[in-house]
Amino acid sequence: MIYLIILGTMSGLCEGAGVLPDGPLNAPVGGTVMFTTTLTPSDGPFTVVFWKFGIKDIIRYDPTASIPHPDYEGRITFFPSTASLELRDLTLDDGGEYAVNIIPGFLQGDTRLDIYEPVSSATVTPPSLDLVEFNSSARLSCSSSGSVTSYVWMNGSSEVTASDRVHLTDGGSNLTVVNVSRYDQGSYRCRVFNPVSDVISDPVIISVSFGPENVKMTVSPSQNLYKEGSDISLTCSAESRPPSLQFFWFLDGEQLSDTGPELRLMNIQTTQSGNYSCQAFHSKTMRYETSQPSSITVLQKISGPHVTPSDLTIEGNPVNLICDASGSPTARKWMKDGSDLIPNDNIALSDNNRVLSFNTVNRENNGDYLCTISNPVSSSEAKYRMDVMYGPENVRITGKDNVTVSEPIKLICSANSTPSATFTWMLNGTVIPANSPEFSKENAELSDGGIYTCEALNYITDRRSSATFELFVHAGSIQPSGLSAGGIAGIAIVCLIITAAAAGGGYYFYRRKSNLNTDAHPMNNTENKENLYEEISAVYENVKAH
């Protein structure tokens, strides 16, 4: 019988392959394992069945008896119909090689049973809390009780896999992330496995400090130019973790005393113009970053506009009109008499339209000039009335030229002049007390007759011009009816000429008759001729006066 069994066993090494499923079988400590054969009740009945653990018998079965090993009393159940075996209350010592031999058929099978303690209480040791991007490494360690066979690390819902920066060591229980970046931060958990159990640790948060970066400065209101006295707000922002940053402000590269994410410029002045920038500092990363500068240009409001001539506007002279104002002028525009001023051969603009130049001013340049001074934040106008100074010219005297004694005298002197001329009066070359355009006298005297001269003077142009007027004053009682004083004087002169001619003619005939030497006669003497003319003139003046 024993021989047959041995022979059957040896034969079953080949023929019985597959009676038990491929192993190993896994079971927890304290658990139950079922060694289920591939046989069915139709394959029986079985004469003899041996179950062994290593070299140790577990149970021997035949139709007359079922004899378990004492170590397995109460822990096993044998199923004769399929030759299967259930093992309960497993311990670590139950792990090993199991085999079954079945007669008839010389069937045999073997498998392996692995016993595991269930894993529990997975714990992750957290890394340093001060992780700085690109400067720090994060090291996590996972520990657990039980029979651990593998570790899996999770960041959120994603599995962490090894790479050039991510290292898994000690069977995966240790996770090291070298030169952490912001993308490595998150909630890390460790999942611990064995074939019969698994457990997940509580999450550990990895926070990576980074920044500052993308430092930006915004200006409100946003514009290129600002009016003096405006209020401007500058705000600095940056990306970082944690978001707590320190901010510093700079003007043209010089640090200001102001700190914080906002710089308020109240009632800003032109002296505050320049390039502003802000700098962010992270106390954990110990890094600085500065924003791009923003230019702030402050302009004064245009005030006090005025147009000033460079010299007196005297006709024929060169003159500049200068347009200026307080503030920050950036543009000027000229108009004349409501129309845009157009330069020509005599008129030119220079110095960014600040100076309007006349080569020579003339009366055609008279008019109302308007200079508009502006900058992008304000504008103002200055007016100038140009009156070109000239003269005097066209001086003339009007009035009655023939009056009798006791009649009023009224002579008016006029002249074209800007500004108005002043007047000086003379009678027969002697200045008389009158300095207005009008010379008047209530009662004429004979001595008021004569040649009147009016001299006009323009004190600005320093030019003079004069006119003469002859006034006749006569006594009304001896004046022939219908004859003027000029007529009477003319009659007297004619009489004198006739008398002189008669005397001269008589003397001429007398000399020829007496045949005297011509040079000895008194009328041929130059001095005697002059005396005669003086006498005739005296007679004329006497007649004229009476």
Residue 481 has pLDDT above 80, yes or no: no
**Mean pLDDT (whole number) for 254-280:** 96
| Predicted structure pTM score | 0.58
3-state secondary structure 308-355: EECCCCECCCCEEEEEEEECCCCEEEEEECCEECCCCCCEEEECCCCE
Q: pLDDT above 90 covers what percent of the chain?
A: 76
**What ranges in 392-466 are assigned the alpha helix state H?**
none
| Rounded-to-10 torsion of CA 58, 62, 64, 67 | -10
Q: How confident is the model at residue 339 (pLDDT cuts 50, 70, 90)?
A: very high
Residue 514 has pLDDT above 50, yes or no: no
Instruction: Give the CATH fold of the 120-206 domain.
Output: Immunoglobulin-like (2.60.40)
Average pLDDT, the chain: 86
Residue 11 has pLDDT above 90, yes or no: no
Other beta carbons less than 10 A from residue 163's beta carbon? 10
Distance in angstroms between the alpha carbons of the first and the last residue of the chain: 206
Q: Name the CATH superfamily for 303-386.
A: Immunoglobulins (2.60.40.10)
Tens digits of residue pLDDT in 370-379: 999 999 999 9
At residue 108, the 3 state secondary structure works out as strand
Whether the CB-CB separation of 291 and 277 falls below 8 Å is answered with yes
Residue-level pLDDT at 66: 85
- Class assignment of domain 390-474? mainly beta
Residue-level pLDDT at 65: 85
Tens digits of residue pLDDT in 51-61: 999 999 999 99
Tens digits of residue pLDDT in 427-444: 999 999 888 999 999 999
- Class assignment of domain 209-299? mainly beta
Tens digits of residue pLDDT in 168-196: 999 999 999 999 999 999 999 999 999 99
**Mean pLDDT (whole number) for 344-354:** 96
Residue 507 has pLDDT above 70, yes or no: no
Residue 330 has pLDDT above 70, yes or no: yes
Report the amino acid identity of residue 209.
S
Residue 152 has pLDDT above 60, yes or no: yes
CA distance 533 to 123: 155
CA distance 99 to 367: 130
CATH number of 2-116: 2.60.40.10
Residue-level pLDDT at 130: 81
Residue-level pLDDT at 538: 52
- Per the listing, tokens 């018998």 go with 57
Residue-level pLDDT at 534: 53
Residue-level pLDDT at 224: 84
Q: Cα 39 to the chain's mean position, in Å? A: 91
**Mean pLDDT (whole number) for 80-105:** 93
Query: Which one, of 56, 60, 94, lies nearest residue 80 by Cα?
Result: 60
- β-strand pairing of 76-79 with 197-200: unpaired
- Per the listing, tokens 């106008």 go with 381
Tokens describing residue 395: 């001086």
